[in-house]
A and B are shown apart, each in its own frame.
Chain A
Amino acid sequence: MRAAGVHRFERAWKAIARVWFGVREWCGDVAYERYLKARSRHECGAPMLSREEFYLEQLQKRYSRVSRCC
């Protein structure tokens, strides 16, 4: 019984953590970590951007095209 309770608690905790990570991903909080992961997967010649450089580059791109609707 106790093990089942702990198991349920763990599952609920994991679900909350997933939602929390989703919200962070939605608002762009983990964009830099994603960029680092993508860099590690696909090696390319371009220099690695710092967190600040990456943040500014993302903003420039996002607000140079239609990003918000009526």
Chain B
Amino acid sequence: MTSEPLNTKGAAPAKRLGAIAIWTVIAIGGALALGKIALFRGESINATWFVIAAVCCFLVAYRLYSAFIAAKLLALDDTRATPAERLDDGRDFVPTNKWVLFGHHFAAIAGPGPLVGPTLAAQFGYLPGTLWLIAGSAFAGCVQDFIILFCSIRRDGKTLGEMARDEVSKRGGFIAQIAVLAIMIILLGVVALVVVNALKSSPWATFTLAMTIPIALLLGVYLRFLRPGRVMEASAIGVALVLFVVVAGQWVADSPAWAKVFTLSGVALAFAIMAYGFAASALPVWLLLAPRDYLSAFIKAGAIFSLAAGILIVRPEVHMPALTKFVDGTGPVFAGKIFPFCFITIACGAISGFHSLISSGTTPKMIQREGHARFIGYGAMLLESFVGVMAMVAACAMTPGVYFAINSPPAIVGTAGDAATATISSWGYPVDTATMTNLAHAVGEQTLFNRTGGAPSLAVGMAQIFSHTIGGERLLSIWYHFAIMFEALFILTVLDAGTRVGRFMVQELAGRVWKPLGRTGWMPGILFSSAAIVGAWGYFLYQGVVDPLGGINSLWPLFGIANQLLAAVALVVATTILMKMGKLRWIWVTLIPTAWLVTITMTASWQKIFDPSPRMGFLAAANAMTAQLAAGKIPPAKIAETQRLIFNQRLDAVVTVVLASMILVLLVEALIQWSAILSKRRAAVLHESPYVATRWAAGAEGD
């Protein structure tokens, strides 16, 4: 059996006592550290407490809760051959060492979400987000990833949509398919907006990111024609070139002529990113998409490792209070009370529905033993959550005044420095214009005001931690632009890979209407579907760029709702399968997170649609602008723009209604299915692959 035993009955008494003592110490350490960060109300608290709290809680959760799920719920069976063993072809099904597969899986699930979400949620203070990251991952996110991975392994690597169709109902499968497409479009729009807000008016950052495209093309040609498939050497060359262009960006920013070329407005950047997304989707995958992904994977691993090391070495002070006054819903970064918006804003890092697509994608086809699912499914998500905690620390390590100055949109604090600092200081978070000007100068930017989106404030936090480790103040600007490049690079990787997958989904749907459009190799079909998917997320991006509230205020909650919807779909599938497996006694393991997700998504959806405050409710915002138009308060030059904004608000309301309706339909569908199974009106038929005994001796898997 795979999972470590929950007790140590068979072990020697001394060893058993030793293990109990160690785990007791870890549990007490976690409880003390959690207590410290929860009850502390002084000026600043050291980041070490966050690290201790997270690490101890995660270790205990892994040791006890994941072992309980592995043993009692799933009964992982190492004598059962996995799809990777039975169907091993070296192409799709490849038995892979569990540490390597852990790395694969982690690289696939870790995107910009756990970095941006906690940074935005820091407006509530450090406490709510940190607690949700720790508890959400242990009891919901990891559980989802682990159980979906297990379910997919038992079904030869079937996708979430296929499992929803087979195990819940055809309609459930269709909802899962539509939910994936919806989340994809909203996700791509919002992450592109984060990049735009990070690059806006920043020639250094824009140059650096732009240069990653020719570098990727170069690597693409190298890997295709010169040294096919030699990823390590190509990536080494690529990483060296990327680091060089991070430094070279400073020379561009210092040259008035070149700085002008790379100083772009938000709208110009939005169109440039759309053009890039279209090209990456339509061009051969080896030319641009794949080499960028290789670059991004190495830089992502390096940056996350460096951030962890930096926090451990520098042990920065966290200046943000445990709770800010914005728990009441009046926060400048995004509107909404702590419940439900803290749990919507931090999706990835606590629970992310998107992960279920990875858990039911490549990973189940590569796993050697069923028992590895615990380490890979549950463990990788714990690590992602730890990244989220580090992002929270980095964002909260700067003074709250600086954090709010960077993240507040112009419509709330104004564009002028003095006005902004006066408003923010009046909230009780003192900051002055000179501090902001000096900080902007130190990081090599023209301004740091109104940089909503999370990326710049996280980059400032990371740069401060890195520069305390290596280089001091002198290297602050290099570290800042390294951090921006790192965030933007892997956001663009999500963007181009997502656009391509979205293209295939559009082609599949369009192919039902007119067959040639479904042919993935037919150029007009490729161009049409690429344009359709880029047009869809591009619309949300453009809408966010021209939104006076900064776009994040409306789009990030929409993304959170969509992501949590997908998580609800995954957990409903998991609950149905557990029910069919006869695990009714332990069904609360997935049922409670499902109920929680439905509650937060429905509450957030309701508030985003119907709340009477124009900052909060989409319809209220549309009505307020309509009233202003009717009263003639809008200058003639702004009438067309205002009409567009009104349309956008109504569109957002419709999108939210569609997402919420999908949750309700799925829930009704699942309840019908569950009641039929429980009342024995329907046979509980599992669609598992038949049992085949492994041919590998214990501990001697494949190679």
Contacts and interface: CB of A to CB of B under 8 A. Distances in A.
Interface of A: 22-29, 31-32, 34-39, 41-42, 44, 51-52, 54-70
A34 B90 contact: yes
B497 A70 contact: no
A44 to B, nearest CB: 8
A42 B695 CA distance: 14
Interface in B331-369: 347-348, 352, 354-355, 357-358, 361-362
A68 to B, nearest CB: 4
Contacts, number: 130
B498 interface: yes
B358 A55 contact: no
18 contacts: A22-B103, A34-B94, A38-B90, A55-B224, A59-B285, A63-B290, A63-B500, A65-B362, A67-B108, A67-B361, A67-B497, A67-B501, A68-B493, A68-B494, A69-B111, A70-B111, A70-B347, A70-B352
Contacts of B703: 37
A69 B494 contact: yes
B214 interface: no
A26 to B, nearest CB: 4
Nearest to A24: B232
A63 B497 contact: yes
Interface secondary structure of A, over-half rule? helix
B563 A36 contact: no
Interface stretch (B293-301, B412-420, B527-535, B588-596): B293-301
A69 B144 CA distance: 15
Interface residues of B, number: 59
B161 to A, nearest CB: 11
A59 B497 CA distance: 11
Given A55-B228, A65-B501, A70 B103 contact: no
A32 to B, nearest CB: 6
B99 to A, nearest CB: 6
A26 B103 contact: yes
Contacts of A65: 159, 361-362, 501, 504
A42 B88 contact: yes
Contacts of A31: 94, 229
Interface string B610-648: 000000000000000000000000000000000000000
A46 B460 CA distance: 54
A24 B294 CA distance: 12
B97 interface: yes
Interface pairs A-B: 10 shortest CB-CB: A38-B90, A35-B90, A55-B229, A52-B228, A66-B357, A70-B113, A26-B103, A68-B497, A70-B111, A25-B100
A58 B293 CA distance: 14
A26 B97 CA distance: 10
- Most interface-central of B90, B191, B348, B493 (chain A CB within 10 A): B90
B376 to A, nearest CB: 13
Interface in B65-91: 88-91
Contacts of B100: 22, 25-26
A51 B92 CA distance: 16
A26 B104 contact: yes
B235 interface: yes
Interface in B472-516: 493-494, 497-498, 500-501, 504
Interface of B: 88-92, 94, 96-97, 99-100, 103-104, 107-113, 159, 180, 187, 191, 223-224, 228-232, 235, 285-286, 289-290, 293-294, 297-298, 347-348, 352, 354-355, 357-358, 361-362, 493-494, 497-498, 500-501, 504, 520, 559, 563, 703
Contacts of A44: 89
A28 B104 CA distance: 10
Nearest to B220: A59
Nearest to B160: A66
A29 B297 CA distance: 14
Given A27-B235, A35-B91, A37-B703, 19 more contacts: A22-B99, A26-B107, A28-B231, A29-B231, A31-B94, A32-B229, A34-B94, A38-B94, A42-B89, A56-B224, A59-B286, A62-B290, A63-B501, A66-B357, A67-B361, A68-B111, A69-B348, A70-B113, A70-B352
Given A25-B100, A38-B94, A62-B362, A69 B286 contact: no
A64 B229 contact: no
Nearest to B291: A59
B511 to A, nearest CB: 14
Given A29-B232, A51-B229, A55-B228, A70 B89 contact: no
Contact of B91 (A41, A57, A63): A57
A62 B221 CA distance: 18
Contacts of B113: 69-70
Nearest to B348: A70
A25 B97 contact: yes
A53 to B, nearest CB: 9
A37 B88 CA distance: 10
Nearest to B491: A70
Given A60-B285, A67-B108, A29 B191 contact: no
Contacts of A67: 108, 293, 358, 361-362, 497, 501
A63 B504 CA distance: 10
B522 to A, nearest CB: 15
B88 A68 contact: no
B223 A55 contact: yes
Contacts of B108: 67-69
Contacts of A56: 224, 286
Contact of A39 (B90, B159, B498): B90
B352 A27 contact: no
A55 B291 CA distance: 12
Nearest to A40: B90
Nearest to A20: B232
B372 to A, nearest CB: 15
A61 B229 contact: no
A44 B703 CA distance: 20
Given A63-B500, A67-B497, A37 B90 contact: yes
A27 B231 contact: yes
